[in-house]
Amino acid sequence: MTAESVERRIAQFRRRHWSRTELELWYQLDFNNRPTQQLLVEAEWFAGTFENPTTLRGDLNDQYDHWHWEVFLQRKELVPVTHAAAQLAMSVEDFRKVAVEFNKSPGASAVGDPWANGSNCVVRKSFLRDFHKGFERLRRTTFGSQSSYIRKIHAEIETDLKLKIKATEDETDKKLGVDPPGPGFQIDCITEETIGLGRDVFLETGKPISLAPDCCSWLTYSLYENILNKYLLGSRTGLDEEMIARLRRTE
């Protein structure tokens, strides 16, 4: 990425209202999907119930309040498919394939349909919490780490659902030569690459404090520190300065 594209990206996330295209790309929303349309209508109604009523739609027809959309999903205990897939260390395409096959499996009765209201864009948070219970061998398993959880879940997907999933990996670990790199867990709002647990840098984008902050990876921060430093959420005391220095040396 160029410095200019990083500036544009951080500016986008600091804007409350996004275009329809921006909303579609970041959340992988399908505006032609009827259940998704119904969720958007529900989110609009929900906005009017606040003590200080707001609206999902901006003053212009092609503008949407993406912060309100996240508040709505949070209150409904729903997760965008992009974030759900990241938490299971897989691409959105692979997550959708897994969802199709999982719904045909016996384990689906224990966990339920991953999709909210039939939408293929929004996932129930309870599904992510209980997904492993859909596999007989994992129902009473204790996972020692996120890496262990992902390895076992992906192994069961391959065995029971007959799908070979390529796990997303932490880009910082890959750059540092960690073998094997940790699995992805969330999304870098600058590059859209995956970030592993503990490899994130919180950014101040003006979001309500009730929402999870936008973040980038240690790798992205090290590459564009001169731009991103002024957007740090909190002080530098939480930064791993040694890791940042190591990443700089690998450039």
Domain segments of the chain: what residues?
3-76, 80-160, 171-250
Q: Which comes out higher in pLDDT, residue 248 or 88?
A: 88
> Would you say residue 138 has pLDDT above 70?
yes
Q: Which residues contact 219 (CB under 8 A, 6 or more apart)?
A: 171, 172, 175, 199, 247
Q: CA-to-CA distance for 32 and 160, rounded, in angstroms?
A: 32
Model pLDDT, residue 238 = 62
Question: Given this model, what pLDDT does residue 219 score?
Answer: 92
pLDDT of residue 67: 92
Residue pLDDT, tens place only, 147-190: 999 999 999 999 999 999 999 999 999 988 888 899 999 999 99
Rounded CA separation 69/218 (Å):
27
CA distance 101 to 157: 9
* Interatomic CA distance for residues 221 and 228, integer angstroms: 7
Residues 131-150: what's their mean pLDDT?
90
The encoded tokens of residue 231 equal 């957007």
Query: pTM for the whole thing?
Result: 0.89
Q: What is the pLDDT of residue 59?
A: 56
Q: What mean pLDDT is predicted for residues 221-234? A: 91
- State pLDDT tens for residues 50-109: 555 566 765 556 788 999 999 999 999 999 999 999 999 999 999 999 999 999 999 899
Convert the pLDDT of each residue in 5-35 to its tens digit.
999 999 999 999 999 899 999 999 988 889 8
